[in-house]
Structure 1
Amino acid sequence: MDRMTLLTEAAPILPGVLGRWLYHFDQVRHGRRPAIGWLLAVETMIAIPMGFIGQGVADMSGMTGRPAFAFAIGVAFLGPRVLDLVFTRWAEARAAAKETKS
């Protein structure tokens, strides 16, 4: 794998880390977490897949450049709990709509 391919494939890590660190330090600002500790390490590990999820959704919706980067940061900031809630509600609404049509 050449260097440019490696950088391209690793690019979603940066917005993921930025988004999760924004969330973490927002929690620190509100006094809910210590600034440095295990939670920061955990947030960093969550950041990597969240960045890839955000970038994947941005790619699928046709976003490129800065909008895609900003979208991936937003997805990472929201985190897995919020995304799980959003997708669960969307799936329940879709299932209810299908039942209504039947």
Structure 2
Amino acid sequence: MPEKGLIDTMTALWGGAVATLIAAFVGRLMYHTSEVRAHRRPFFGWELLWEIPVAVGMAVIGEALSRYLGLDSPVSTGLVATLAYLGPRGAEALIERLIRGKSAG
């Protein structure tokens, strides 16, 4: 019997949508924590509330991208967490870098 990881366990207990949202919120929390450590924002403040729609939006985008790429559940959840950490501006910068890299070569 194959071992189940954290993502497989979350998916089995709560379903894929909840696991995806949890991954997105964890990604945004990691970003928020790095901003707090850099003294650019307080931990508890209005900035934390603004992370909610960003997390949900990046979860939707990440889930759509993972389905387009045909990724399995653990990889898909990791992609969602990564995109949520990057946020909209970080994802935009990554896409621009990928496009420039392909056009330059």
RMSD: 2.1
Residue 16 of structure 1 contacts residue 76 of structure 1 at CA under 8 Å; is this kept in 2? Answer: yes
The Cα of 1:10 is off from its aligned counterpart by: 5.1
Report the Cα offset of residue 18 of structure 1: 1.3
- Greater Cα shift, 64-73 or 81-90: 81-90
Matched length: 91
**Match of 1:32, SS?**
coil
1:59 maps to what in 2?
67
Q: Is the 8 A contact 2:27 2:84 kept in 1?
A: yes
User: For 1:9-48, what aligned pairs fall within 5 Å after superposition?
Assistant: 9=17, 11-48=19-56
State the identity %.
29
Name 1:100's counterpart in structure 2: none
What TM-score results when the alignment is normalised by the length of structure 1?
0.73
User: Per the alignment, in what secondary structure is the counterpart of residue 52 of structure 1?
Assistant: helix
Q: How big is each residue's C-alpha offset from its partner over 1:32-87, in whole Å with a ceiling of 9 and x where there is no partner?
A: 21001110000122110101111111111111121111111001000100112233
Does the Cα contact within 8 Å between 2:19 and 2:77 map onto a contact in 1?
A: no
**Which residue of structure 1 aligns with residue 58 of structure 2?**
50
Structure 2: tracts of 5 or more residues without a match? 1-14
CA distance in 2, matches of 1:49, 1:12: 11
Map of 1:71 onto structure 2: 79
For 1:3, the equivalent position in structure 2 comes to none
- Name structure 1 gaps, 5 residues minimum: 1-6, 98-102
